[in-house]
């Protein structure tokens, strides 16, 4: 069972980095630092958008409209931190105590 929680923890860690990369790329797009017409940049941007947008869309329904500021990546990062903390502090010790 610890292997399952380890895989879940690592999947959350990977998604953490995907959210960070998505936020950085959106800033690079906004300040015209990267060329969105570049095929490589476009494919990376499309991949990151497809990985993050379904989660962001659900969170944006509950967040107030702050104009041009999108806080959904921050909410996702806090949720990932909470889940990782929950796994390490509560789930893993319970699995060890149960002897699974």
At 28-65, the pLDDT tens digits run 999 999 998 999 999 999 999 999 999 999 999 999 88
CA 57 to chain centre: 13
**What is the pLDDT, as a whole number, of residue 75?**
96
The pTM of this model reads: 0.90
**What is the pLDDT, as a whole number, of residue 68?**
82
**What is the pLDDT, as a whole number, of residue 65?**
83
Q: Please state the domain count of the chain.
A: 1
**% of the chain exceeding 90 in pLDDT:** 86
Confidence of residue 69 (pLDDT cuts 50, 70, 90): confident
**What is the pLDDT, as a whole number, of residue 100?**
81
Of the candidates 22, 82, 78, 24, the one whose C-alpha atom is nearest the C-alpha of residue 50 is 22
Burial of residue 33, with CB atoms counted within 10 A of its CB: 0-12 exposed, 13-18 middle, 19 or more buried: exposed
Domain that includes residue 86, residue range: 1-98
CA pair distance 28, 48, nearest whole angstrom: 13
């Amino acid at each position: 069972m610890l292997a399952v929680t380890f895989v879940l923890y690592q999947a959350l860690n990977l998604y953490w980095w995907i959210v960070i990369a998505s936020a950085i790329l959106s800033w690079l797009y906004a300040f015209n630092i990267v060329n969105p017409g570049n095929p490589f940049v476009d494919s990376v941007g499309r991949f990151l958008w497809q990985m993050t947008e379904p989660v962001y869309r659900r969170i944006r329904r509950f967040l107030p409209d702050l104009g041009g500021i999108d806080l959904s990546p921050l909410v996702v990062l806090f949720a990932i931190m909470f889940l990782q903390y929950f796994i390490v502090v509560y789930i893993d010790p319970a699995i060890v105590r149960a002897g699974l």
